[in-house]
Amino acid sequence: MAEVGVVTKGLVTADWLSEHLDDPSIRVVDTRKGDKYAALHIQGALSLDVSPFLRDNGDVIGMQEFAEVMSRLGIDASTHVVAYDDGNNLFAARLWWVLNYYGHTDVRVLDGGWDCWSADDRPADNNDTMVSPARFEPNVSSGWKSDSGYVEASIACSDRVILDVRSDDEWLRIKDSGSTPPGHIPGAVHFVWSDVIDRDNLCFKPAAELRTMFHNIGLRQDREILVYCLAGIRAAHSVLALRLAGFESVRNYEGSWAAWSRTGRPIEGAVSLSHPN
């Protein structure tokens, strides 16, 4: 959880945003699904459906297409982006990751999301926000992403760890969806992505607590972490959590299990389950 009234490298508090809501350099982006934005949203926020941020082949939205979307939202190199949603900030974190991947590092997630904002009667309305288009110029930062080949080459690397952040049911295949085969990437360790959220306030747990949780499953800051889920959404959220905890070398395996399991690469059966203390 970010300290009250401050900005961290990945989060911003509701108190801070309330104080800076009229700052023209800030663009608040609502990533909630459905018609929730139309009903009520943070005053001045713009709506963005993040589902197009994955293509049919499981890869991130293309550079030019993403630039056009950001430009329509009035986002350029001088814009401070604040993203939020109402689902553990899963989709807000996805936007955070895509922006970082395309070189825009001035982006934060609203800690606690809409739930935290709306709980204290902060400014909200249902007005459509109008902004002038900007010129977003993407610049791929390759260290934020890994592909199947890179992950496969990492299985035998002592300085890399593969982290599976799918649910317990997916890891153990208690419920078989039929869409992908059971198992996991060989050598992967397991951690449920949502365990980084404090259930009482829906904020991220403090950095020190996150660091302890990750250390308890064998992660270390001097090793590169490759994170995967089913299709790269939850993995992006975990990349944010790891960054908050002080892990600087973290990549999202964008294709994730959906890509890995259909390419004939090695699969290991789920034989153990790791939980944070």
Question: C-alpha dihedral over 249, 13, 191, 232, to 10 degrees?
Answer: -70
Q: Are 81 and 30 in contact (CB under 8 A)?
A: no
- Tell me which residue of 48, 167, 224, 40 sits closest to 114, measured CA to CA: 40
DSSP run (H or E) holding 99: helix 90-101
Question: Three-state DSSP class for 266?
Answer: coil
**229 in catalytic set:** yes
Contacts of 240 (CB under 8 A, 6+ apart): 10, 93, 96, 97, 109, 204
Q: In what order do the strands lie in the sheet with 145-146?
A: 145-146, 250-253, 224-228, 160-164, 189-190
Q: Are 7 and 17 in contact (CB under 8 A)?
A: no
DSSP run (H or E) holding 27: strand 26-30
- Tell me which residue of 147, 96, 98 sits closest to 254, measured CA to CA: 147
Q: Are 58 and 233 in contact (CB under 8 A)?
A: no
Q: What is the DSSP letter of 3?
A: P
Query: Given 116, 157, 203, 229, which residue is catalytic?
Result: 229
Q: Are 209 and 236 in contact (CB under 8 A)?
A: no
- Tell me which residue of 96, 248, 238 sits closest to 163, measured CA to CA: 238
Residues that are catalytic: 229
